[in-house]
Amino acid sequence: MRRVEVTPYSGDWVRMYEEEVEKLRHVFGVQFVAIYHIGSTAVPGLDAKPIIDIMPVVRDISLVDEYNQLMRDIGYEPKGENGIPGRRYFQKGGDNRTHHVHVFQVGSLHIRRHLAFRDYLRKHPNEAREYGELKRKLAQAFPNDIGSYIQGKESLVVKIEDLALQGYKDKRLEEG
């Protein structure tokens, strides 16, 4: 069973992201357009589940399944879209996950959503603190129930995401 654990921010998360980036660049090769550290581990000071969320952006999402064996070779389990159309999702570490990879094609609205959320929390420490406190409380209340943990933070995530997307601009996305 997968345990819900929220820990204080760790500077190791940036290093873990950077180490994985090199492996993913090698896997996706010419399909690779960009890569981003997303999620709570990408926000300095934010308490988080110690799982590194990585978002590669590729030229053609329909070709990503061809890389499943290469992803397995570096420890990832391919999960297909896993509930989000237009995404390819991979997990590393089984029940003791260490990394999630969310692959999107250039132009996907999900890219903007993830980056806006991350950047908003980086610029708004009060909201980040509120989010971290909620996640800690939910992890304590639901240590063995990831579904309830996710559901418990959903309304705050939607609120932050809505604020984050208002007027969000990222030059890298426009160049895509």
Q: What is the CATH number of the domain that holds 26?
A: 3.30.460.10
**Whole-angstrom distance between the N-terminal and C-terminal Cα of the chain?**
40
With contact defined as beta carbons under 8 Å apart, do 109 and 57 qualify?
no
Specify which residues 48 forms β-bridges with. Answer: 7
pLDDT classification of 173: cutoffs 50, 70, 90: low
pLDDT digits (tens, 9 = 90+) for 19-31: 999 999 999 999 9
pLDDT classification of 14: cutoffs 50, 70, 90: very high
The residue-averaged pLDDT of 152-176 equals: 80
pLDDT digits (tens, 9 = 90+) for 101-132: 999 999 999 999 999 999 999 999 999 999 99
Structural domain includes residue 3: no
Structural domains counted in the chain? 1
CA dihedral 174, 86, 13, 6 (to 10 degrees): 120
Structural domain includes residue 1: no
Structural domain includes residue 4: no
pLDDT classification of 1: cutoffs 50, 70, 90: low
pTM of the model: 0.92
Q: Which DSSP helix (H) or strand (E) runs through 77?
A: strand 76-78
Structural domain includes residue 68: yes
With contact defined as beta carbons under 8 Å apart, do 13 and 53 qualify?
no
Residue 46: closest CA among 155, 158, 160, 159? 160
Q: Which two tokens stand for residue 127?
A: 């909201």
The pLDDT value given to residue 176: 42
Which alpha helices (DSSP H) does the chain contain, by range?
12-28, 68-73, 109-123, 125-141, 146-165, 171-175
Residue 91: closest CA among 107, 110, 78? 78
pLDDT classification of 95: cutoffs 50, 70, 90: confident
Q: Is the pLDDT of residue 172 over 60?
A: no
Give the angle subtended at the CA of 101 by the CAs of 68 and 47, to the nearest 5°. Answer: 155
Structural domain includes residue 2: no
With contact defined as beta carbons under 8 Å apart, do 65 and 87 qualify?
no
Structural domain includes residue 57: yes
Structural domain includes residue 7: no
Q: Is the pLDDT of residue 5 over 80?
A: yes
The pLDDT value given to residue 50: 96
Boundaries of domain holding 149: 12-175
